[in-house]
Amino acid sequence: MTDFTHIVAFCEKERKINLHSKKHFNFLRLLLYIAGLNILALGTVLFTCGKLGVSALVSVPQVLSLFLPITLGQATTLIFIVFVLIELFLLHKIEWQIVFQLLVAIVFGWIVDFYGLRIGLTSVVLPVWWEQILVTLLAIVFTSVGVFMMIKANFILNPPDGVVNVICTKLSATFGSAKLGFDLTMIIISICLSLIFSSHITAIGSGTLLAVLLVGPLVNFWEYFFGIWKTKFSANN
């Protein structure tokens, strides 16, 4: 009877330890996700500072914010909500992981406006061409780091990646090809909206092309670098 009591006590102790470890792990994932969301938002705002074109991710919101009485953050939230609705429509059912993307849309839009308007990054003027290129490259790096951190957190997909993921499921396509198609679609819509609202193309430029070409490979680089660091860390411990 005493042995059985010890076993029960030991199992209960292990259960509490595992529960604590799981909660600790989930908390770290949440912190990583929030950090990634912030860095991605900062990268988004830096694109607008560079004036060489924004990433495909927010090209449509950028056009809307230029011609409608709404901020970039508000336009981003609006478009992200549309993405969530498209996901629900394509799946024909409600999944909480997708519904939670609505919260991500609201928070991300708020963070974009925080960096852009509260801190004032969107009012920064860069008259020299090399400064614009430097800030645009910095925006690309920040965007790739933010995307990488959110992927590693494995918490909630941001709405653009969420709708791409659903499209992959429906069309049995690879994520890479669907993502490229999605980015090109966003760019085309942005160009069309620009021509509707004005006589010239806005939001799309060399920075947009660089983002399409570099963000994906950079995310892969961070994954490779993280894998090397993780291997060395495990070997030392």
The predicted pLDDT at position 220 comes to: 86
Summarize pLDDT for 50-108 with one digit per residue, the tens. 999 999 989 999 999 999 999 999 999 999 999 999 999 999 888 888 899 999 999 99
The number of angstroms, rounded, from the C-alpha of 36 to the middle of its chain's C-alpha atoms is: 7
How far is residue 24's CA from residue 127's CA, in Å, rounded to a whole number? 47
Indicate if the pLDDT at residue 137 is higher than 70. Answer: yes
Buried b (16+ CB within 10 A) or exposed e, 93-120: eeeeebeebeebbeebbbbbbbbbeeee
**pTM for this prediction:** 0.85
How far is residue 84's CA from residue 160's CA, in Å, rounded to a whole number? 8
Amino acid at 119: I
Amino acid at 173: A
DSSP letters for the chain = -HHHHHHHHHHHHHHHHHHHHHHHHHHHHHHHHHHHHHHHHHHHHHHHHHTS---GGGHHHHHHHHHSSS-HHHHHHHHHHHHHHHHHHHHTS--HHHHTHHHHHHHHHHHHHIIIIIS-GGG----SHHHHHHHHHHHHHHHHHHHHHHHHHTS---HHHHHHHHHHHHHT--HHHHHHHHHHHHHHHHHHHHHHHSSS--S-SHHHHHHHHHHHHHHHHHHHHHHHHHHHHHHH-
Summarize pLDDT for 25-51 with one digit per residue, the tens. 688 889 999 999 999 999 999 999 999
Are the CB atoms for 62 and 203 separated by under 8 Å? Answer: yes
How far is residue 39's CA from residue 139's CA, in Å, rounded to a whole number? 9
The number of angstroms, rounded, from the C-alpha of 196 to the middle of its chain's C-alpha atoms is: 28
Using a pLDDT cut of 90, give the percent of the chain over it. 59
Residue 205 sits at φ, ψ, to 5 deg, of -165, -160
Summarize pLDDT for 149-176 with one digit per residue, the tens. 998 888 888 999 899 989 988 888 888 8
